[in-house]
Structure formats: C-alpha cells, structure tokens
C-alpha cells in the first residue's frame, strides 16, 4: 500500500527530522546503516499537521469537550472573541497559546491541559487511522503474528536535536497491543506536544510553537531480558576514549528513570579492555504487566527472577565488549559521541539498539577533563541559602526525573524544583541549585538532611547555568560563583578539619530542659541523625519512604501490593525507631500534595488542582482514601509488635476534631490502639487548628507539633514555594507567634506536650522565642541540632538568671522599705 502518512524505518535517514522528528530519523538512519534496530514505522509529522489543519472545530464542540473549563480564563476569552464559524484546530491552539504567559504556571497548566484535552477528544481523520491500522498489520505479519507488541514514542521535530536535548519530555508507551490501542497512543503522543513543561521549554528555547510538529514512532518491542544505556564517551570525565555502559534487568525504563542503580562498566575503545566494573544491587526491574498483558509494571528482582540475580553481573564480559563495539560503530556512523539505549532480547538472545542521540554536553575541543579553577569569586547567581556549606563541581541541568542518570557523583544538580524521584541524583550531587522553592521546599529539606549545600529560589538557574559549566555554591548565603573558586573550597576543607577537632573537645553533652529533637525523612540517615544526640525524632516524614516505592502508592495498593508497601514502610520506621530507642519517634502520616503525586509513575490520574497547597493533602486526603492510612497504621503496628514502645503517630494538616476521631477509628480497625500502643498527636499547621486547640484536645491527643512551614503560609496567605512573595514569609510574624503562644498556653493547661517541627525550629531566633513561650521540645534539621541545643541552653540559663534576679530585686526592694 502506498502510504501518505506512514514511513517505514527503511525509508528514512537522518535528513528526515522535519518529517519524523529526531528519534524517528535516527531509527531510520541506523536501520539503513545495518545497525540492529527493532523494525517499525513512523506516523509522520504530516499526519499531525493534517490533523490540526483539517479537523474543524466549532465553539460548541469546544464547550462540549472542555465543559466548565470553557467558561474560565484564557479559553473563555478565546471563545468570546472567535468568529462563529468553525475553525481548524491549529487556529484554536495558536489562539490559546499566543495569549498564554508561560511564566504564569497556573495559566500555562490550564491552557495546555485544554489543548491536550481537545486533541485527545477529537477523532483522528480516517485517512490517517486507516493507514496506521494497515501498517501495524504489516508489521505484525513480518513476525507471523496477528498483533505484535509495540512501543509508541513521540518524536517531536524539535526533539533530540543536538542543540537542545528535550529528553524525556514527550510520551512513551510500552507494550502496546492492537491497532486501536496504537491509534489511541499516537493521539496521546500528539497531545504530549502540549504538556506545560514542553511548552514552557519551547518558549524559553525560542522555538516557534506553530512550527513544531510531532511524529509518533511505532516500533516492535524488544522482549527485553537485560537492557540499559551507553555513552560512547565518558560523560563524567569527558574522556572520548572510554565507553560507559549501564545495565540492568528487564526493560530499560528502570535505568532511564533512575529507579534502579544499574551495573556500570567502562571499556577502553580500541583495546576493548574492561577498565572498570561496578556491580550494583539491582532491587527492581520493569517488565510487561503479567496480569493485563499490556503496559509495564515495576517488580522486585528478588521475587521475579530470584534473590541471586540482585547482585549478579548483568552483562557477561563478552556482551560488555559486544555492546561497546556496537556503540563505537554507531558513533563512527554519526561522527559524534552518542547516548544509546540498548537491549538484549529474551526470544532470540540478540542485541538491539532502540535509540541513539548525540551527547549534547560534551565539549567539542577537548578529550580530557576541563575543570575551570579560578582565584576570584564572581557571583553569577543569587537565591536563598537552603542548606549550608560550600560545594563545587560541574553543572548538570535537568528538567525531569527521567534525566537523573546524567547527574554523576560530585556534579552540581540544577533544576526547576526537585521531587522525590530525583533523590538518587541529589545524593550524588556536590551541591543543588533550583529555580523555584523556599527554605521549606523539597530541595531544601532533602539537601539539609543529606548535608549537601543547596541554593533555592534563584528564579533562573536553569536558564543561566548550562550543563558543563563549573560553579561553586555557597549554601549558607545563597550564592553561586563562576568556576571552582579555590579559596572557598580550601576554606571548606579547613572548616571540616576544624569541626572534627572541635567536635572532640565539645564532647561533654549539654543538658537542656527543653528537649531538642531532630527531623528525619530518610531512614538511611537515621543513624547519622541519632548521632547528633537528639532527644528523639520530632518529625519522621512519610513522604520519602512512600514515594520511593517508585509508583503512586494508591495505585500500588489497588494493584494488590499493599503488603509490599506495609513491609517497606515498617522496615523504614523500624530503622528509625531502633536508632533512637528509647527516645520517642513521631511518625507523620503521608502529606504529599497532588502536584507531587502527579510526578510519579502512575500519577497521571491525579487531579489537576488550581492550588495544591490548599487542596487534597494531609489528613483530608488520608480520610478520603483510607487504604493508604490503613497501610501506614499496619506498618506501625508491625513495628510496635516488635517491642518498640517509642512511636507516636502525628496527623498532618488537621483542622477539624472529627478528623482525629476518624483517623483513630481507622487505626483501631487494623488493631493499633491510640494512646496505648502509640502516642497520638496532631500537627498545628492550619490557623483554624490553633484557634480551636481546646476542641482538638478534647477529642484526645497526647501531643501537638507546630508545622510552622504551613502555619506561616496559611496565616500570612503566602505560598511557601513561591519565591516572588518569599520576602514576606516570616515565621516570627506576630500573628504566627500569637497562635503559637495560645496553643502552648492551652496545651499546658491540659498536660498536652508541645513541640515544633517546621523549619523555624532550626532557626536560633525562633528557638529562643519558643523557649520563652514554654515549648516542651524543638525538632530541628540534623545539621542544626547542635546549634539549637546551645541556643536553647543559653536561653534557659538566661531565663533562670532573670528569674533569680527578679527575686533578688524584689527582696532588695522589700529591704529598702525598712
């Protein structure tokens, strides 16, 4: 059949980027060059163009598709000003986009979502759909099958170009089966051209929206036994003589997404000597969903393949050389180092190449490492100091968690805002810089816990800093300097040595009446946090533990994997409870806003909220979806049954007494008895909770903890993550202090313990105020525990002195009278 909208890989070459995008053109080019690429075809950019330029849409259609959304914002404006006769889809899209301010993230979200909905809701013209059906049939027949498994990937005509690697910004669907499903996924790919992130990126990179089209690649799936990525030049050292291979079990998604730490092999070109082999513990793998037979799921290697596979070398030495040689061949073909995805097929045991693109971060002229060392400290960027310390290294800019593999040990991670999926890269980083966020943002919290210097809220780090640059970061003052500033790095080393010496001298413990506790979110740092001598954990955050299962937790449970989640949580909680025993550990139930959930695999169905901070989070969501709360309580019960009587449960974002009652009911349902098995408490984060504290106490609580990060944002009406208003964000604002004072007073009356676990607890000024207000404990970040203990001790002594002096004066006054 003569196709109009379909091109087989064999018909394509690297010149065809305008027609089939970078990915499609590359696959064609490699196929032609005899590189073993799984066969397939591209639904060309012409098809997308035909679709948006031929499908006519009326105002009524739009209203029907978008419903309520059509009455609001830009869409309402567009509809009001549009002519009455139907227009082609492209005109509507451009009309919406030309009115969108991409720096207004809410508007950008809403408008791009509307465009995506339109694309998905409108029928694909039969001229295109029929061709896709026919080509899919032909592809299947090549394998003697009715229907073959295919991957459907988007390939934007501005994607994967050497100048701007858009990696991971558009969709990929794996293990798709059947023509209808292929058509559906092609439309989803088209829609993905208009995600908020891709649109923003295009705008910032100066691409003309009206000229960016999208092709969809439909490619036979490799039934992957093992897979990974390879760089034909060492991306860490820039050494062009080395090939770096990452390998893991199952589909490559696990490696690309960073869910697994893959094996790493370094091979020398020419001699084909394996210079280095690091065999990693590969806990998880991605496989075809065995239940539905479609799509993919993440499974545990130990269960799926057997425990001995976790630490087994993935590629044999022969295979390492085979993969490396293939890499060399592809690099030679393109004349530039490549970043290649490869896989071994279970069925025929052969090596396949599924993607190749140029490494965009290598410097043209040199082969060796090029570290820029400077004497003079020149500030090139400013933000908020979020985690103290000096860090220096090579910048790696990423926009998405799928890119975290690019961040190597000692790099400076630069991104818009981090999320839990980026933690593996954050751990490797020498410093972290973000565009967005305040001192209580995800980047700030995690980096402090990891002890990595961090600057947040720079507004323009991802624009100003480029991958490959060298910078020095001052995480205390919020400054970024050009190059590796020798004097600063030296000072850091001296300070480290001094701290070691001082630590030895100041070993005598300070005893304070006000307990000084620590905040923990990663069980792996529990030992380190306990070594600070903290009097307990005033906040054990659940978010990291739960989100690091790598899939949306509700989805995870609904797929019948509750037990696995409970097990993992119990393991984390026990680690912390054991490190601190018998000191108390307060576990706070999950509090992740919808925008964080949405970032996770399986998070597509999360509602798009206009204002996630005021939305479905904390205990409100917990009670709406009790399966998660139940899993959390089951995990705690497991730990309690092992004899840990030092655990407390803390509910986030409480605003109504009945929330406490309902949560207790759920705990009892799983056999966890509040007040008996565990202490029971609430966070005071909503002004309402502070104002009605007496009602909350009557419902039955053992303790409260001030979540000043939220209490401040809700009291002052300041989004804590919005750097534009960060200057007005002040936890010591009189209104916030008034609420805190009131709560402490009432709690004292009823014998309820009081604490703080917001970021303000790590601030000496706030700590002094709280000691004076009579708080029972202060929970600080691990790096601040010592300082806060000193401040608390000093303030307590001052208080005692003042009291003694007052008494003395009173006595003297009495004497004067006589």
Among 591, 606, 702, 723, binds ligand PEP (CB under 6 A): 591
Among 708, 715, 754, 762, binds ligand PEP (CB under 6 A): 708
Q: How far is the CB of 720 from Mg ion (least distance, A)?
A: 9
Q: How far is the CB of 538 from ligand PEP (least distance, A)?
A: 9
Q: How many Cβ atoms are within 10 Å of 510's Cβ, its own excluded?
A: 13
Whole-angstrom CA distances from 95 to 88, 115, 193 are 11, 11, 16
**Binding at 435: pick from Mg ion, ligand PEP, none (beta carbon under 5-8 Å per type):** none
Q: How does strand 647-651 pair with strand 585-588?
A: parallel
DSSP summary character for residue 39: P
Cis, peptide link before residue 302, omega less than 30° from 0 = no
* DSSP state string for 182-235: HHHHHHHHHHHTT-HHHHHHHHHTT--GGG--EEEEEEEPP-EEEEEEEESS-T
Q: How far is the CB of 139 from Mg ion (least distance, A)?
A: 51
User: Chain-centre distance of CA 476, in angstroms?
Assistant: 23
757 lies in the binding site for ligand PEP (CB under 6 A) = yes
CB of 473 or CB of 757, closer to ligand PEP: 757
The C-alpha atoms of residue 144 and residue 300 are separated, in whole angstroms, by 33
Catalytic residue, candidates 442, 544, 552, 656: 442
Q: How far is the CB of 708 from Mg ion (least distance, A)?
A: 9
Q: Do residues 592 and 445 lie in contact, with contact meaning Cβ atoms separated by under 8 Å?
A: no
Q: How many Cβ atoms are within 10 Å of 66's Cβ, its own excluded?
A: 19
758 lies in the binding site for ligand PEP (CB under 6 A) = yes
- Three-state secondary structure of 797-808: HHHHHHHHHHHH
Catalytic residue, candidates 42, 454, 747, 757: 757
Q: How far is the CB of 653 from ligand PEP (least distance, A)?
A: 8
Backbone dihedral angles phi then psi of residue 357, each to the nearest 5 degrees = -145, 155
Stretch that binds ligand PEP, among 236-244, 550-558, 625-633, 708-716 (CB under 6 A): 708-716
Q: One symbol per residue from 287 to 316: x for binding ligand PEP (CB under 6 A), - otherwise; what is it?
A: ------------------------------
Q: Which residues contact 693 (CB under 8 A, 6 or more apart)?
A: 684, 704, 742, 743, 746, 747
Q: How far is the CB of 801 from ligand PEP (least distance, A)?
A: 32
685 lies in the binding site for ligand PEP (CB under 6 A) = yes
**Binding at 753: pick from Mg ion, ligand PEP, none (beta carbon under 5-8 Å per type):** none
CB of 393 or CB of 758, closer to ligand PEP: 758
710 lies in the binding site for Mg ion (CB under 5 A) = yes
CB of 252 or CB of 758, closer to ligand PEP: 758
The C-alpha atoms of residue 97 and residue 669 are separated, in whole angstroms, by 51
Count residues binding ligand PEP (CB under 6 A). Answer: 10
Burial label for 174, CB within 10 Å (0-12, 13-18, 19+), is: buried
Stretch that binds ligand PEP, among 162-170, 250-258, 666-674, 706-714 (CB under 6 A): 706-714
The C-alpha atoms of residue 157 and residue 150 are separated, in whole angstroms, by 21
Backbone dihedral angles phi then psi of residue 680, each to the nearest 5 degrees = -125, 130
- Tell me whether residue 757 is one of the annotated catalytic residues: yes
Q: Do residues 655 and 591 lie in contact, with contact meaning Cβ atoms separated by under 8 Å?
A: no
**Binding at 758: pick from Mg ion, ligand PEP, none (beta carbon under 5-8 Å per type):** ligand PEP
Locate 762 and state its tokens. Answer: 């790590």
Among 710, 723, 783, 795, binds ligand PEP (CB under 6 A): 710
The C-alpha atoms of residue 265 and residue 275 are separated, in whole angstroms, by 8
Locate 104 and state its tokens. Answer: 């207004």
**Binding at 757: pick from Mg ion, ligand PEP, none (beta carbon under 5-8 Å per type):** ligand PEP
Q: At how many degrees (to 10) do helices 45-54 and 89-98 cross?
A: 90
Stretch that binds ligand PEP, among 244-252, 322-330, 348-356, 705-713 (CB under 6 A): 705-713
E strands, 685-792, are 703-706, 753-756, 777-780
763 lies in the binding site for ligand PEP (CB under 6 A) = no
Q: How far is the CB of 650 from ligand PEP (least distance, A)?
A: 10
CB of 29 or CB of 710, closer to ligand PEP: 710
38 lies in the binding site for ligand PEP (CB under 6 A) = no
593 lies in the binding site for Mg ion (CB under 5 A) = no
CB of 131 or CB of 710, closer to Mg ion: 710
Among 707, 715, 721, 744, binds ligand PEP (CB under 6 A): 707
Q: Do residues 59 and 78 lie in contact, with contact meaning Cβ atoms separated by under 8 Å?
A: no
Please give the residues from 636 up to 695 whose contact with Mg ion meets the rule CB under 5 A: 685
Angle at 175 between CA 169 and CA 180, to 5 degrees: 95
Helix boundaries (H) for 293-354: 301-304, 317-334
The C-alpha atoms of residue 37 and residue 27 are separated, in whole angstroms, by 7
721 lies in the binding site for Mg ion (CB under 5 A) = no
Q: How far is the CB of 456 from ligand PEP (least distance, A)?
A: 14
Place of tokens 């139940």: 630
Stretch that binds Mg ion, among 330-338, 445-453, 555-563, 704-712 (CB under 5 A): 704-712
416 lies in the binding site for ligand PEP (CB under 6 A) = no
Q: Do residues 320 and 332 lie in contact, with contact meaning Cβ atoms separated by under 8 Å?
A: no
Please give the residues from 526 up to 585 whose contact with ligand PEP meets the rule CB under 6 A: 539
- Tell me whether residue 42 is one of the annotated catalytic residues: no
Among 26, 199, 709, 762, binds ligand PEP (CB under 6 A): 709
Nearest in space to 343 (alpha carbons), one of 332, 328, 356: 356
**Binding at 296: pick from Mg ion, ligand PEP, none (beta carbon under 5-8 Å per type):** none
Locate 180 and state its tokens. Answer: 């209808």
CB of 663 or CB of 757, closer to ligand PEP: 757
CB of 119 or CB of 757, closer to ligand PEP: 757
CB of 235 or CB of 437, closer to Mg ion: 437
CB of 233 or CB of 767, closer to ligand PEP: 767
End-to-end CA distance of the chain: 118
* Interacting residue ranges for ligand PEP, rule: CB under 6 A: 440, 539, 591, 685, 707-710, 757-758
* Interacting residue ranges for Mg ion, rule: CB under 5 A: 685, 707, 710
Active site residues: 442, 757
């Amino acid at each position: 059949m003569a196709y109009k909208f379909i091109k087989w890989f064999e018909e394509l070459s690297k010149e065809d980027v305008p027609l089939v995008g970078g990915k499609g053109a590359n696959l064609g080019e490699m196929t032609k060059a005899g590189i073993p690429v799984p066969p397939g075809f591209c639904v060309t950019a012409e098809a997308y163009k035909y679709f948006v330029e031929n499908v006519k849409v009326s105002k009524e259609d739009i209203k029907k598709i978008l419903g309520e959304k059509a009455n609001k914002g830009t869409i309402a404006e567009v509809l009001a000003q549009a002519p009455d006769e139907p227009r082609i889809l492209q005109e509507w899209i451009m009309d919406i986009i030309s009115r969108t301010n991409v720096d207004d993230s809410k508007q950008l979200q809403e408008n791009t979502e509307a465009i995506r909905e339109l694309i998905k809701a409108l029928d694909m013209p039969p001229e295109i759909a029929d061709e896709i059906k026919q080509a899919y049939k032909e592809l299947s027949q090549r394998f003697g099958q009715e229907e073959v498994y295919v991957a459907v990937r988007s390939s934007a005509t501005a994607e994967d170009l050497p100048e701007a690697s858009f990696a991971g910004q558009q969709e990929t669907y794996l293990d798709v089966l059947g023509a209808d499903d292929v058509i559906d996924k092609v439309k989803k790919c088209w829609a993905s051209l208009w995600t908020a992130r891709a649109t923003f990126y295009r705008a910032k990179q100066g691409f003309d929206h009206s000229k960016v089209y999208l092709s969809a690649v439909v490619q036979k799936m490799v039934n992957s036994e093992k897979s990974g990525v390879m760089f034909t030049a060492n991306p860490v050292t820039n050494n062009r003589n080395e090939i770096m291979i990452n390998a893991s079990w199952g589909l490559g998604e696990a490696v690309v997404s960073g869910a697994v730490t893959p094996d790493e092999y370094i091979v020398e070109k020419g001699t084909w000597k394996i210079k280095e082999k690091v065999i990693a513990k590969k806990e998880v793998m991605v496989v075809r969903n065995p239940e539905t037979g479609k799509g993919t799921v993440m499974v545990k290697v130990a269960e799926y393949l057997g425990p001995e596979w976790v630490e087994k070398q993935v590629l044999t030495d022969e295979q390492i050389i085979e993969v490396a040689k293939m890499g060399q061949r592809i690099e030679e073909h393109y004349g530039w180092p490549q970043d290649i995805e490869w896989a071994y097929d279970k069925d025929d045991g052969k090596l396949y190449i599924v993607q190749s693109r140029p490494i965009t971060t290598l410097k043209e002229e040199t082969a060796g490492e090029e570290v820029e060392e400077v004497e003079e400290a020149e500030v090139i960027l400013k933000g908020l100091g979020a985690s103290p310390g000096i860090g220096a290294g090579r910048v790696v800019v990423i926009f998405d968690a799928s890119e975290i593999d690019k961040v190597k040990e000692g790099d400076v991670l630069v991104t818009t805002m981090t999320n839990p999926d980026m933690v593996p890269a954050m751990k490797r980083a020498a410093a972290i810089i973000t565009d967005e966020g305040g001192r209580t943002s995800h980047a700030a919290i995690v980096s402090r816990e990891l002890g990595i210097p961090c600057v947040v809220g720079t507004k323009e780090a991802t624009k100003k800093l480029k991958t490959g640059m060298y910078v020095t970061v001052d995480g205390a003052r919020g400054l970024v300097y050009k190059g590796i500033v020798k004097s600063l790095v030296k000072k850091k080393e001296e300070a480290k040595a001094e701290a070691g010496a001082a630590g030895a001298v100041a070993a005598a413990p300070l005893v304070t009446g006000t307990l000084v506790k620590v905040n923990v979110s990663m069980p792996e740092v529990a030992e380190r946090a306990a070594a600070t001598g903290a009097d307990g954990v005033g906040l054990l955050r659940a978010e990291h533990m739960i989100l690091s299962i790598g899939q949306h937790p509700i989805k995870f449970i609904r797929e019948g994997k509750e037990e696995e989640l409970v097990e993992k949580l119990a393991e984390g909680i026990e680690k912390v409870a054991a490190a601190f025993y018998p000191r108390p550990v307060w576990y706070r139930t999950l509090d992740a806003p919808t925008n964080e959930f949405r970032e996770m695999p399986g998070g597509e169905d999360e509602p798009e909220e206009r204002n996630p901070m005021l939305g479905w989070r904390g205990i409100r969501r917990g009670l709406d979806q009790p399966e998660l709360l139940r899993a959390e309580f089951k995990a705690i019960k497991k730990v309690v049954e092992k004899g840990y009587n030092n655990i407390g449960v803390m509910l986030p974002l409480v605003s109504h007494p009945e929330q406490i009652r309902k949560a207790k009911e759920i705990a009892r349902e799983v056999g966890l008895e509040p007040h008996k098995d565990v202490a029971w408490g609430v966070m005071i984060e909503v002004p309402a909770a502070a104002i009605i504290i007496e009602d909350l106490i009557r419902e039955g609580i053992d303790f409260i903890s001030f979540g000043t990060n939220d209490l401040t944002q809700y009291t002052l009406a300041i989004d804590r993550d919005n750097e534009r208003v960060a200057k007005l964000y002040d936890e010591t604002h009189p209104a916030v202090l008034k609420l805190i004072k009131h709560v402490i007073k009432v709690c004292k009356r009823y014998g309820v313990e009081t604490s703080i676990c917001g970021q303000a607890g790590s601030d000496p000024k706030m700590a002094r105020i709280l000691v004076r207000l009579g708080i029972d404990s202060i929970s600080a970040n691990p790096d601040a525990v010592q300082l806060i203990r000193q401040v608390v001790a000093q303030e307590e002594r001052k208080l005692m002195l003042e009291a003694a002096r007052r008494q003395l004066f009173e006595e003297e006054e009495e004497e004067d009278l006589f």
